[in-house]
Structure 1
């Protein structure tokens, strides 16, 4: 059965209009995603990826110059899939607080549903100081997190949130906090041989989304004028 990610990739173009090259690239990306997720990036070889789809190893390099380039493309497709139609979905929520909660909840769902890909993103890409910055994947990540910045700015303009805190700090607190909070959950997928992984708790997406949203919005809420005067004194 095709995974949601496979379905999303297949929808990009109809079978009648997809070239042989596109179909081959899709096969390689799917095999790489499966093996990177199951074995980890370092333990996976391009020979294994080729064997997974029944081709010679050299064919992989016809489409991807390095294994690293292949990893970035796998994660790029995943990010593209995650976006879905965020703009349309966010429009259903009448307040900035509800939109903020939705973005936090959806990000947590992604961590819960795609733990191995999240682990690859955190360990192999975000922690590396090489080809990530300036890459298409970096641009996608900026677009993805900008949705939260835009939501906070909208709340500030509408009077829901205080205006003396930088929206980018809120973004860092949300995504950095989720990464830290979910680290033990991800450990069972990133390093299943470690004892810590066996003891890792489940990720309660609904509860954690509520807690983060409440913590942020209580702090972001407009402050009484008297309190502001006292703080500045």
Structure 2
């Protein structure tokens, strides 16, 4: 027979404590599970590609049934939405901070390059998905912000390059938009061979890139 608790505050015999019962369904635990699923899915998207990854793949990686995944996300599109929106939120905020410092164009571009390289590790999945699945995703209404966000990022870079040209810091015979896109793509492609714990970390890669970008590979006399 189940007994009730006494004044000592002990829980009912044969049952869970109220705190434990609340903990199983607490918002904090649900948030942790959701974050864990996003990380697992991000790794799969980075390795297999978004379109090739199924909900079952994600569930299997998490050790749960596919139906359990739907308690947290209504589709894999919702998961990648969280990954991509988080990437743009973080990188755009970091870019704005650099630009708002008001340094000269060369220093500002260097800061933007360092931030871009710094995203290779924490946002590897987002960068890989954008490279592989951009054209597929951007045609969906829910991902309309991708084009808007990329346009805003491009404007930050292009305006900085043009400011450097006007000040005589950068060459006037280069196209600012084309220059930005070449910089962007050569940084993003590094995500395919960059691995955390490798010979060079993201910071060292960024500094090496800046040497080549600003000084070239010729020996200056």
Asked if 1:210 corresponds to 2:207, the answer is yes
1:7-22 matches, within 5 Å, as none
**CA distance 1:26–1:75, change in 2 (3 Å):** farther
Report the CA distance between 1:174 and its aligned residue.
0.8
Matches of 1:150 and 1:26, distance apart in 2: 39
Asked if 1:113 corresponds to 2:122, the answer is yes
**CA distance 1:120–1:85, change in 2 (3 Å):** closer
Question: 2:137 maps to which residue?
Answer: 131
**CA distance 1:112–1:56, change in 2 (3 Å):** closer
Question: 1:45 maps to which residue?
Answer: 55
**CA distance 1:93–1:163, change in 2 (3 Å):** same
Which residue of 155, 158, 163 corresponds with 1:149?
158
Report the CA distance between 1:170 and its aligned residue.
1.1
SS where residue 39 of structure 1 aligns? helix
Matches of 1:29 and 1:81, distance apart in 2: 19
SS where residue 136 of structure 2 aligns? coil
Question: 2:8 maps to which residue?
Answer: none
| 1:185 and 1:201 in contact (8 A); partners too | yes
**CA distance 1:157–1:102, change in 2 (3 Å):** same
Report the CA distance between 1:75 and its aligned residue.
1.0
Matches of 1:137 and 1:29, distance apart in 2: 23
1:86-140 deviation digits (Å, cap 9, x = unpaired): 33333335211111111011110110333334333333x23xx323157212221
Question: 2:170 maps to which residue?
Answer: 161
**CA distance 1:131–1:28, change in 2 (3 Å):** farther
Unmatched runs of 5 consecutive residues or more in structure 2: 1-26, 217-221
Unmatched runs of 5 consecutive residues or more in structure 1: 1-21, 189-199, 220-233
Give the greater-gyration-radius structure (CA): 2
| 1:96 and 1:154 in contact (8 A); partners too | yes
